[in-house]
Chain A
Amino acid sequence: MNNDKILELQRVATDIRLGAVEAVYSAKSGHPGGALSSADIMACLYFSELNVNPQNPQDPKRDRFVLSKGHSCPALYAALALKGYFDRSELKRFRHVGSFAQGHPDMKSMKGVDMSAGSLGQGFSVACGMALAAKMDGKDYRTYAIIGDGESQEGQIWEATMFAAHYNLDNLCLIIDNNGLQIDGKVKDVMNTMPYASKFKAFGWNVISIDGHNIEEILNAFDEAKRAKGKPTVIIAKTIKGKGVSFMENQAGWHGKAPNEEQYNIALSELTEYKNSLGGNK
């Protein structure tokens, strides 16, 4: 794979992390942990995989993306801002009265958001509906959704898992942000949802397991998903909650907490240092 492209996506992912941390800091609330764990996937989606155009956000032919784990929206908003859907300054107004950067994604107010989400377990089903509509109309847009591993404790996730396989939605690609943590602790201690691969295989899915911070693996998985015919694909992306900010990594406590000023400055300097280490023109 093209090394420049990987480096560029790593830079984008770091910019997404910087934007997400800035948004949560400005709001004095929000969910940094899951935003940081999903940043590399988000970078690959918006800057490589998705056929979308910020100049025509409602294009019926566009690929669809649903952030079912809506609380990770600081990463989504940062990606959309970088992509050019709106000005990056809005990230500083995250969760502020009057901002379209709502605490959870609102498709009615923010350009580029294909579905409002927040109540866990629902966005995945909505993505199934989007994929089904494409099948009905013979359209070739693809639909992507990210769920969390804590989210997969919701029964509705497994309703949608059945549905997508039953209707052979091979134009649907589900990504599990498998960071292993949720509010009350480790997913395996709170309510174990693993293993995912054998579960999804049993439901009739095409299963790909990857390192969710490895750009090359993410891009290859998207390609493989497109080649799988007759069944939907799930990409089980092993990730680190809080990835990129040392004191947030693998800490359940950073699921839904904003950094204070000192922590914020440390996070910024760590991420900036990493970005500089990638070199390049940014």
Chain B
Amino acid sequence: MADKIATREAYGNALAEFGSVYRDVVVLDADLAEATKTIIFKKKFPERFFDCGIAENNMFCVAAGLSTAGKIPFASTFAMFAAGRSFDQIRNSIGYPHLNVKICATHAGISVGEDGATHQCNEDIALMRTIPGMVVINPSDAVEAKSAVEAAIKYNGPVYMRFGRLPISIINDNPDYKFEIGKAIKMADGNDVTIVANGMMVEEALIAREMLLAEGITASVINMHTVKPIDKETLIAEAQQTGAIVTSEEHNIIGGLGSAVAEALCEICPVPVVRHGVEDVFGKSGPAKELIEHFALNARGIVEKVKIAINLKNSR
């Protein structure tokens, strides 16, 4: 495996790279360019970068205005201050008029680390996916983050993208890799259970799969990078094949990927769905790696949920 790289880093690099191809791309930030990595774009295209200061609500509406004039604005801040603080602005001035604004939120989830609960947004996916017409993407590595940025540029409409602070492994560097909004990627096949994950949890799901193999359990692993629109076709096929689903996300188990999967399956093909994620609590301060251990947002935590899911399936 290649060196680890944070998806926020890949985001900044992708903006700078695609910025020369797509001249309508404009980048806005709210005094966090160093952290969100939009600074990489700023250095290359200063005339297309606008710092809005610590005023996120204004920033998202300025982005809306720019988009009405044909620009493709990428507006960045931490997930907490995008989906959280500016929900009304995103809902009313971007979502309702279905404007071509890309909301790119970094520092999502508890892997933010030391900054603690106020900065660890575990609710952003839930908030964003309730907005009609909003595309919601949570990429699983740097390769996918870059692909998602290009897909978002080509897609005409509002997109919410979530990027992490923590460097993570590259898991998609294979020649067959293809990113398509709303199309899940099957990472590994199995018959006993399906693990549906996104963001940094996809790698953990693959590790969990190895651990389960040692116990004679074969797990299918799905990378559900797009939470909305959710790939129902893949979910139904998996539900029919394995009959048990575990979702895994670095997000509250309420409202995020787990909820989206459960909602989709319970209406079409009900099978046990067990959600793995942040268990409806706030985060806390600490080094990211220790927090991941503390909240069991790792392969170990997934394996525990898999056991529950298989028991549920077998007791039906």
Contact = CB atoms under 8 A, between A and B. Distances in A.
Nearest to B96: A116
25 contacts: A60-B69, A66-B65, A115-B93, A122-B88, A125-B57, A125-B62, A125-B93, A126-B61, A126-B68, A129-B61, A129-B63, A130-B69, A131-B65, A132-B66, A133-B68, A136-B48, A156-B57, A156-B89, A159-B52, A159-B58, A160-B58, A160-B61, A160-B62, A163-B55, A166-B53
Nearest to A139: B69
Contacts of A106: 96-97
A170 interface: no
Interface SS majority for chain A? helix
B62 A122 contact: no
B48 A126 contact: no
Interface of A: 60, 64, 66, 106-108, 114-119, 121-134, 136-137, 155-156, 159-160, 162-163, 166-167
Contacts of B97: 106-108, 115-116
Given A107-B97, A130-B68, A159-B58, 17 more contacts: A64-B68, A108-B98, A119-B89, A119-B93, A122-B57, A128-B62, A129-B61, A129-B63, A129-B69, A130-B69, A133-B66, A159-B55, A159-B57, A160-B61, A162-B58, A163-B55, A167-B50
Contact of B88 (A66, A108, A119): A119
B92 A125 contact: no
Contacts of B93: 115-117, 119, 122-123, 125-126
B34 interface: no
B26 interface: yes
Nearest to B28: A129
Contacts of B57: 121-122, 125, 155-156, 159
A122 B92 contact: yes
B90 to A, nearest CB: 10
Given A116-B97, A159-B55, A160-B58, A125 B65 contact: yes
Contacts of A115: 64-65, 68, 93, 97
Contacts of A117: 93
A133 B98 CA distance: 18
A107 B98 CA distance: 10
B89 A122 contact: yes
A125 B52 CA distance: 11
B64 A126 contact: yes
A166 B51 CA distance: 10
Nearest to A128: B62
A209 B65 CA distance: 27
A136 to B, nearest CB: 7
Nearest to A133: B69
A162 B31 CA distance: 14
Contact of A128 (B26, B65, B71, B88): B65
Interface in B22-50: 26, 47-48, 50
B287 interface: no
A133 B63 CA distance: 10
Contacts of B66: 129-130, 132-133
Given A136-B26, A136-B48, A129 B62 contact: yes
